[in-house]
A and B are shown apart, each in its own frame.
Chain A
Amino acid sequence: MSLPVRQEIVISGLGGQGVLFITRILAQAAILKGYPVFTSETHGMAQRGGAVISHLKVGDFASPLIRPSHADGLISLTPETFAMHSNFLKEKAWAVVNGQKKQSDKVLPEAEAKTCFFTQADVLAQKIENARSTNLVLLGYSLQCLSDRFFCDIDDAKQAVDIILSSRFKMQNTALKAINAGYDASMKENKT
Chain B
Amino acid sequence: MDKRRLMLGNEAIAQGLAEYGCQIATSYPGTPASEILSSVAKLKNKNDLSMHVQWAINEKVAFEIAYAGSMSGLKSAVSMKQVGLNVASDPLMSAAYMGCKGGFLVISADDPGPHSSQTEQDSRMMAMIAKIPVLDPDSPEQARQMIDYGFKLSERFEIPVMIRPVTRVCHTRQDIEPGMICTNPKTPDFEKNPARWAATPKFRFQLHKELEKKLEAISQFPDTEPICRNPETKSKTAVVASGVSGAHCLEIMKESGLFNSISLFTVVQPYPLHQSFITNILSDYEKILVIEETMPVIEMQLADRNKVMGKMTGHTPRVGELLPENVEQIIFEFAGKKYEAESFKPVPGRRPTLCAGCPHRASFFAIKKAARKGIYTSDIGCYTLGLNLKAVDTVLCMGAAISQAAGFYHSYKDEKKRPDIVATMGDSTFFHAGVAALIDAVVQDVRFVLVILDNRTTAMTGNQPTPDSGFGACGEKLNKVDISSLVKGCGVKFVEEGDPYDTRAFTSLMKKAVKYSKETGPAVVISKRPCLLDPAQKKLVQDLPEYEVGDECDGCAYCIDNFECPALILHEEKGGQPSDQADGETDKKASEKKVSIDPVMCSRCGVCVDVCPKKSIREKNQV
A51 touches B350 (CB 8 A): yes
Q: Which stretch (A25-33, A111-119, A140-148) binds chain B?
A: A25-33
CB-nearest residue of chain A to B353: A49
- State which residues 158-212 of B face A: CB under 8 Å: 167-168, 171-175
B6 touches A46 (CB 8 A): no
Q: Which residues of B contact A24 (CB under 8 A)?
A: 6, 173
B355 touches A49 (CB 8 A): yes
Question: Which of B2, B32, B344 lies in contact with A68, CB distance below 8 A?
Answer: B344
Mark A31-64 against chain B: 1 for CB-CB distance below 8 A, else 0: 1101111111111111111110000000001111
A40 touches B171 (CB 8 A): yes
Question: Which of B252, B353, B600 lies in contact with A48, CB distance below 8 A?
Answer: B353
Range of interface residues on A (Cβ < 8 Å): 35 or more
Q: Which residues of B contact A45 (CB under 8 A)?
A: 31, 115-116, 352, 384-385, 460
The yes or no answer to B250 lying at the interface (CB within 8 A) is yes
Mark B135-168 against chain A: 1 for CB-CB distance below 8 A, else 0: 0001100000000000000000000000000011
B600 touches A131 (CB 8 A): yes
Known: A48-B354, A63-B247. A68 touches B460 (CB 8 A): no
Known: A49-B566, A69-B341, A80-B350. A31 touches B6 (CB 8 A): yes
Interface centre among A50, A62, A132 (most CB of B within 10 A): A62
Question: Which of A43, A62, A63, A68 lies in contact with B341, CB distance below 8 A?
Answer: A68
The yes or no answer to B338 lying at the interface (CB within 8 A) is no
B352 touches A43 (CB 8 A): no
The yes or no answer to A73 lying at the interface (CB within 8 A) is no
Q: Which residues of A contact B138 (CB under 8 A)?
A: 62
In the assembled complex, the CB of B522 is this many whole angstroms from the nearest CB of chain A, namely 30
B248 touches A132 (CB 8 A): no
Q: Which stretch (B18-26, B322-330, B508-516, B540-548) binds chain A?
A: B322-330
Interface of B is mostly: loop
In the assembled complex, the CB of A53 is this many whole angstroms from the nearest CB of chain B, namely 9
Known: A44-B116, A50-B350. A67 touches B31 (CB 8 A): no
The yes or no answer to B244 lying at the interface (CB within 8 A) is yes
Interface centre among B2, B248, B324, B349 (most CB of A within 10 A): B349
The yes or no answer to A176 lying at the interface (CB within 8 A) is no
A43 touches B171 (CB 8 A): yes
The yes or no answer to B580 lying at the interface (CB within 8 A) is no
- When chains A and B are docked, how far (Å) is the Cα of A81 from the Cα of B348? 10
- When chains A and B are docked, how far (Å) is the Cα of A69 from the Cα of B324? 12
Mark A156-184 against chain B: 1 for CB-CB distance below 8 A, else 0: 00000000000000000000000000000
B172 touches A43 (CB 8 A): no
A69 touches B342 (CB 8 A): yes
B6 touches A34 (CB 8 A): no
B171 touches A27 (CB 8 A): no
Q: Which residues of A contact B174 (CB under 8 A)?
A: 36-39, 64
Interface centre among B173, B174, B175, B355 (most CB of A within 10 A): B173
B328 touches A63 (CB 8 A): no
CB-nearest residue of chain A to B250: A62
- When chains A and B are docked, how far (Å) is the Cα of A93 from the Cα of B2? 31
- When chains A and B are docked, how far (Å) is the Cα of A83 from the Cα of B324? 21
In the assembled complex, the CB of B280 is this many whole angstroms from the nearest CB of chain A, namely 24
The yes or no answer to B582 lying at the interface (CB within 8 A) is no
Known: A28-B6, A31-B6. A64 touches B352 (CB 8 A): no
Question: Which of A50, A80, A87 lies in contact with B351, CB distance below 8 A?
Answer: A50
B342 touches A68 (CB 8 A): yes
Q: Which residues of B contact A34 (CB under 8 A)?
A: 2
Q: Which residues of B contact A30 (CB under 8 A)?
A: 175
B248 touches A43 (CB 8 A): no
- State which residues 427-461 of B face A: CB under 8 Å: 460-461
Q: Which residues of A contact B2 (CB under 8 A)?
A: 31-32, 34
Q: Which residues of B contact A66 (CB under 8 A)?
A: 324
Question: Which of A37, A43, A44, A47 lies in contact with B6, CB distance below 8 A?
Answer: A37
- When chains A and B are docked, how far (Å) is the Cα of A127 from the Cα of B174? 35
Q: Which residues of B contact A61 (CB under 8 A)?
A: 251
Q: Which residues of B contact A99 (CB under 8 A)?
A: none
B172 touches A40 (CB 8 A): yes
Q: Which residues of A contact B349 (CB under 8 A)?
A: 50-51, 80-81, 84
In the assembled complex, the CB of B490 is this many whole angstroms from the nearest CB of chain A, namely 30
Question: Which of A15, A32, A39, A62 lies in contact with B352, CB distance below 8 A?
Answer: A15
Interface centre among A27, A41, A47, A81 (most CB of B within 10 A): A41
Known: A49-B352, A62-B250. A132 touches B382 (CB 8 A): no
CB-nearest residue of chain A to B174: A38
In the assembled complex, the CB of A74 is this many whole angstroms from the nearest CB of chain B, namely 13
The yes or no answer to B623 lying at the interface (CB within 8 A) is no
- When chains A and B are docked, how far (Å) is the Cα of A15 from the Cα of B355? 10
The yes or no answer to B347 lying at the interface (CB within 8 A) is yes
CB-nearest residue of chain B to A35: B175
- When chains A and B are docked, how far (Å) is the Cα of A34 from the Cα of B177? 12
- When chains A and B are docked, how far (Å) is the Cα of A42 from the Cα of B31? 11
B344 touches A87 (CB 8 A): yes
In the assembled complex, the CB of A99 is this many whole angstroms from the nearest CB of chain B, namely 15
The yes or no answer to B4 lying at the interface (CB within 8 A) is yes
In the assembled complex, the CB of B244 is this many whole angstroms from the nearest CB of chain A, namely 7
The yes or no answer to A71 lying at the interface (CB within 8 A) is no
Q: Which residues of B contact A75 (CB under 8 A)?
A: none
Interface centre among B324, B385, B600 (most CB of A within 10 A): B324
Q: Which residues of B contact A46 (CB under 8 A)?
A: 115-116, 352
Q: Which residues of B contact A27 (CB under 8 A)?
A: 6, 173, 175
- When chains A and B are docked, how far (Å) is the Cα of A24 from the Cα of B328? 28
- State which residues 232-285 of B face A: CB under 8 Å: 244, 247-248, 250-252, 254
A50 touches B325 (CB 8 A): no
In the assembled complex, the CB of B345 is this many whole angstroms from the nearest CB of chain A, namely 9
CB-nearest residue of chain B to A30: B175
- When chains A and B are docked, how far (Å) is the Cα of A61 from the Cα of B324? 12
CB-nearest residue of chain B to A33: B2
Q: Which residues of B contact A132 (CB under 8 A)?
A: 600
A65 touches B173 (CB 8 A): no
A67 touches B324 (CB 8 A): yes
B323 touches A37 (CB 8 A): no
Q: Which residues of A contact B342 (CB under 8 A)?
A: 68-69, 87
A44 touches B460 (CB 8 A): yes
Q: Show 19 residue pairs from A and B whose CB-CB distance is below 8 angstroms, ordered by the A residue.
A: A31-B175, A39-B173, A43-B167, A45-B115, A48-B354, A48-B382, A49-B354, A49-B566, A50-B349, A51-B350, A63-B248, A63-B251, A64-B172, A64-B247, A83-B347, A84-B346, A84-B347, A126-B600, A131-B600
Top 4 A-B residue pairs of the complex, sorted by shortest distance between their CB atoms: A44-B116, A44-B31, A50-B352, A51-B349
**Chain B residues near A (Cβ < 8 Å):** 2, 4-6, 31-32, 115-116, 138-139, 167-168, 171-175, 244, 247-248, 250-252, 254, 323-325, 328, 341-342, 344, 346-347, 349-355, 382, 384-385, 460-461, 566, 600
